[in-house]
Structures are given as C-alpha cells and as structure tokens.
Structure 1
Amino acid sequence: MPKIILVGVDGSDSARQAAQTAAELAAATGARLHVVTAVDEKTRVDDDVVLGDVRLLTPGERAEAIATEVANSLAGITAEVHVGLAHGKPGDALVQVAKDIQADLIVVGNRRVQGIGRILGSVATDVAHHAPCDVYIVKTV
C-alpha cells in the first residue's frame, strides 16, 4: 500500500479528476497526499508587475493558488493533504518531486491529445517513462 501519493494539478478538469482519484486512494490506504503544481521558470514574470492598481500574480503564485484550491477541495475526502510547488516542465517536475518526497505512487490524468498514435498526454507519458515509483493514470477523457 502506498504511504505517499503525489498528484500533479494545473487547474484543468483532467487534473481535478486525477486529484479526486488520488484523494480517494489516499483515504482508502491511509497515505499522505501531496498536491503539486509545476511552474516553468521560462514563463517568469517580475514580482512587481502592476496593471493599473492591481499587481499581477507571478506564475509561481498562480500555480500555488491552483494547488491550494484543489487541495482545499479534497480536504473532506482525506485527512492529510500537503501543497507544493515544483519548478520546470510538468512531467520532469513531478518526477523530481516524487524522488524528493519518496512518493510511492504518482497519479496523473490523461488528456485527449490531437494526432494519431497519441494515447496519453505528454505529462502522463513523461511521468510513466521516468517515474521512480508506480504511476496511476486516471482515465479522464
């Protein structure tokens, strides 16, 4: 049974469905759930960007807000939910976080990707190929 479950979220319906499944698995097994959003440093914005009277959120702040919102929505399903921010491309970032926290299971959703021969989304494919642990791909399409 997994003790640490990691799920990556990006605000999409697919990721939310994967997070729901991850929370249910965590509740059933007593595992800790880590909800992580990746932010690619290439999309960095200065911290003090202002539009009118409103300061724009940095990509990191937006990513963390997404992870927090998803984690809060799962609080009633499983007791122990942690929120995290990872840096880099989503697939690579999830694999690195899994190594860092010694995750036993990574849960990802599969998005419908255009083009013949594409069964899984690129994040699910990257994670499946490089994960240091088991991967659960939630059918979300």
Structure 2
Amino acid sequence: MSYKHILIAVDLTDECHPVVERALGIVARNEATVSLVHIVEPMAMAFGGDVPMDLSLLQQQQFDQARERLQSFAGRYPQLGEEQRCLAYGQPRQELHRLAEEQGCDLIVVGSHGRHGLALLLGSTANDVLHGAPCDVLAVRLKKPKD
C-alpha cells in the first residue's frame, strides 16, 4: 500500500525520536506528504475534571512552551518545515482523528509504550487513536527510559 499523507504524533520527549525516524522512512519510500503534530491537553483534563480556578494563564504558558519545544524538536529534521508542524489543543484521540480527516491523511504514526496490567486497563494514547481512526495507524514501540 502506498501512503500519500502521513501524520506523525509526538509528545516532544526524547524517547519519541524513533517514531519520527520510522515515519520519515515511510514518507521517503512513498514520496508522501508529512505533518508533525503535538497535542496540548487542557489542564482540567490532566487534573481529572473540574478545577475550581481559572487556569487560562497557565494553559497559555503551557501552549507557548509547547510551541517552543515543538520548534526545537522538529529542528532535528530538515524535511519538517514550519508549514508541516502543527500544535493542537484538546483531547489527543479526538484531535488526531480531526487532523487526519481535515488533512486527508492515510496514516497516523504514534509511539506506544506497550504497557501491561493497570496501565493497559487505563488505556493509552496509541490505543485511543487506533479506535475510530479514519485511516491506518502505526504504533511504534518506544523503549522505556533508563532510570
């Protein structure tokens, strides 16, 4: 199968560089278009729902920091120009599905920690993205960071 547009989803940690490298290999073999995305989750979601204070300033700071980190992260890959980088705000699964549909992507590439036990029951971003995705999904196994 030949892919035309590949969406790479990253969390901007060093351990997700293999995700980008694997995706860029597929991009090169298919002469595909590529987009790199990082999703900033709403702080209320991270804290489990209702937070009785205004988090808008903190959320904007988080978004600004994510923009800087995305530029730095993507700077390692000359084939990822400014126009191919995207910063989105929301729930990762929903945003990745939305972006894939809007951009006409036929492959989403994400990292997976391959969790087991309780972490598996709670779910993961890779698992969430897989269900209901508008296109193929490739989950690249990530190595556990060394302690």
TM-score by length of 1: 0.77
The AA in structure 1 aligned to 2:26 is L
In structure 2, the residue matched to 1:53 is: none
Q: CA deviation at 1:67?
A: 2.4
1:40 is aligned to 2:25: no
Distance in 2 (CA, whole Å) between partners of 1:31 and 1:69 is 23
Kindly indicate whether the alpha-carbon contact (under 8 Å) linking 2:36 and 2:80 is maintained by their aligned counterparts in 1.
no
Structure 1, unaligned runs of 5 or more: 50-56
* Counterpart secondary structure, 1:7: strand
1:5 aligns with 2:2: no
Contact kept, 8 Å, 2:8 with 2:108, in 1: the verdict is: yes
Name the structure with the higher strand share.
1
Match of 1:72 in 2: 75
* Per-residue deviation, 1:20: 1.4
Name the aligned partner's letter for residue 63 of structure 1: A
> Which residue number in structure 1 is paired with residue 64 of structure 2?
61
Normalised by the length of structure 2, the TM-score is 0.74
Change (3 A) 1:62 1:112: farther
Counting aligned pairs with the same residue, the percent is 29
Contact 2:3 2:106 in 1 (8 A): yes
- Give me the CA root mean square deviation: 2.7
Shift in alpha-carbon separation, 1:96–1:28, aligned structure 2, 3 A: same
**CA offsets per residue over residues 33-74 of structure 1, 9 Å max, x none?**
11101012336541xx7xxxxxxx712122222322232212
Deviations 1:72-100 (A, max 9, x none): 2121xx47671001111222221111111
SS of corresponding position for 2:117: coil
Match of 1:132 in 2: 134
Gaps of 5+ in 2: 45-54
Contact 1:5-1:26 within 8 A present in 2 as well: yes
